[in-house]
Chains A and B, each alone.
Chain A
Amino acid sequence: MTDLTKLTLAGARDKLRSGDVSSVELTETFLTAIDKADALNAFAHKTPELALERAKAADVRIKQGDAPDMCGLPIGIKDLFCTKGVPSQAASRILEGFKPEYESTVSQKLEDAGAVMLGKLNMDEFAMGSSNETSVYGNAVNPWRRGNDDAQLTPGGSSGGSASAVAADLCLAATGTDTGGSIRQPAAFTGITGIKPTYGRCSRWGVVAFASSLDQAGPMAKDVRDAAIMLEAMCGHDAKDSTSVDLAVPNFEAMLTGDIRGKKIGIPAEYRMDGMPAEIEKLWADGTEMLKAAGAEIVDISLPHTKYALPAYYVIAPAEASSNLARYDGVRYGHRATLGAGDGITEMYEKTRAEGFGHEVQRRVMVGTYVLSAGFYDAYYNRARRVRTLIKQDFETVFAQGIDAILTPATPSAAFGLGEMTDADPIQMYLNDVFTVTVNLAGLPGISVPTGLDSQGLPLGLQLIGRPWEEGDLLNTAYALEEAAGFVAKPAQWW
């Protein structure tokens, strides 16, 4: 009997169709695997009863013969998505006990397609972090280790629980969200595939907001085909999100031919950072060769404002966060501080937010408050938005020259140890997103594909950046890269 947890989405879909396995069996197998993997701390809230109920319904649908691709497939949902009647805390103390009365559009679409939610996944608090160390649930742990060293490594962040769960075969795939790299960086750290679609492809309705002009949901999966299948189920216009685009959603899986002959792949000079580890440089050069060998034309390009993407991001994202997180005031939902005698409404706000928000969230809310405050709005916020325009123009220029996709490293290093960055200044942590954050600022689709291992046996990924709305073409290029790289390594099970 094959180990059902090792299946891909596509493989499990085909087995469900042929009647080799039922969704209930598949779901029970994953529920057992999840219970054995508490050491990874990937699942923050398990929903076994709900999962089995949905699996039973899916089996009925599959028997009737008209089930969508995702029907009966067990997945995990990042805690940032509001799920009706199920705790949805964005990994924050301030949303302790919050059970939404509604379902996010993306998780609703997945539910409508018959997908089986196994539970809610760990993440950085309000998606602010690159190591899953800011979570109220504690750290999620990477299933990968450095050889025989038992030091715990980060699965990356903010979608760290999603990455850990998929890499450890605790679910077939998971939802993630990406504001500055939060799908692509953890995917790279755990040897899985993650795509952030074009801004506007997935509805943000019901997803706890961090920085609304940058936030996008996307799938984290075992391979490119699975990412294509799940992305299609997540996308689509939603009247409840005014930034959601009214465009037809293609059949992404059908676009995976692996044929990229004649495609122009840009290699941006500015991504060759000072002090880039030799292993990352080699990975990138190898990936370039693979695409060339597959028939693509390699073109050196320039994206001159790359250097300013992170500083612009650390104005725009905190500014939007300070506004979005103003709603957590202890009145309508979540935590409220115990008040002292004589405390009024201002003390209630201040104590509630001091107790409810963790350190990194407090820092970003206050930085955002500062850059938006009278006298500084122009100098910081408006200047950052101007730089953002220039960053987007950089990409428009190269796309106008005929570039189809851009190849870069996904991260500046492999996964680092949990706690290793604790004493570093916050900027060091922010540098994790140096290759991914430009894509959010320009609203483009980006995908991270595992293509190699470092000298310590840890996975490394490359990023492909595509033209707006051309996720299908991007996925196909990623598919060609995946085929050429032939990455099949899995972490040895220790949990």
Chain B
Amino acid sequence: MIVYDKKLLDNQILVDEAQTLYKGGFISKEQKKFVQNELPVFKSQENILVRIGFFLLSSLLYGSICGAISIFGISAENAYFQISFYIFAVVGFAGSEILAKQNFHNHGLDDAFILGTIMNIGIAIAITTEGYEAVIAFFMAVASICMFLRYLHLLSMLAFCLSVTAFLFYQMFEFGDIGKAILPFVAMIFAVFFYFLTKKMMYSLTKSYYLNGLLLANSFCLVLLYLSCNYLVVRELSAELLGAEVKPGTDIKFAFFFYAFTFIVPIVYLAQALRTKDRIMLWIGFLAIGFSIYTIRFYYAVLPVEVALTLGGLILFAIAYFSIRKLKEKESGLTFKPDRINHSDAFLNAEALVVASAFGMKPEVKPQDSPMEFGGGGFSGGGSSESF
């Protein structure tokens, strides 16, 4: 199923390992370079900026090829319109094949063709079935899982997870109001089931080619599980789908369960993440806690926003300060010392950028219009950092 040469895939793993060992200071630069010269690998881009650039360029190329084909077909008008997107999908698939044969992998160029194929299949099915959502989601899921299995393409795995979830939702809608009412519970059971399934599959893998994809699906299940029974999501969705207005003094059905779920799940995630040393789950846990706080503030403005921000800042500072003090000298297990092997400091490099966006000073061209614009950019920064 995998299009790439197995030898190259194995080499890639070894070279990546050599790279991490070099960064951790275990092997010398000469050794790393020797490994790189010794083992041929894929043409890939580690730098995300370059990858996005190539993705955009490649999308332009794909688009222009489709445009050139359309010139020939445009005279056939409606008949051409019916089949055009199937042709585009075939073009995308052919492009992905050619790039894969040239050993492009995670390069940006291949991303555009692979994702383009999936998207065009979706559009083509939509035209043929006149917008029947469940069928579209089904075919997109099939297309993306094929793309993932063939090209080991992680974004396709994400597309697969999303379209499978969409398929589940649209299928539930077919059952009418009952289906919509039990949707949260079905989604929850679905997420739990696939969480354990992917976990089991990861443990039974003998080769690590599909590992990252499974890891992604696994994390997706965690996110879906949290969102499926989050109070805010359930309440807003039920208002949207069932038209159930929540009158003052009343609440949605099983409100108690959803409230409990909103708070217990993030805590379970955090505890489990720290126990099993699972970084992805830790991050999902942090984000879930943030969203739970947002959920409460969405319905009950307990504190005015400025007090909440100030207090939140103080509490967060205290948590971080005492954790650092506690963990600073530990040598193993949970620690504050940077890990030599997995250090994820990409965010810290972007720190300055975030400061500039949130607190950069703005010129005061028209001071009479907005009195708060001058000098202390901190004021205007208040709004933009609320999104945290």
Question: Are A and B subunits of one complex?
Answer: no
Chain A interface residues (CB < 8 Å from chain B): none
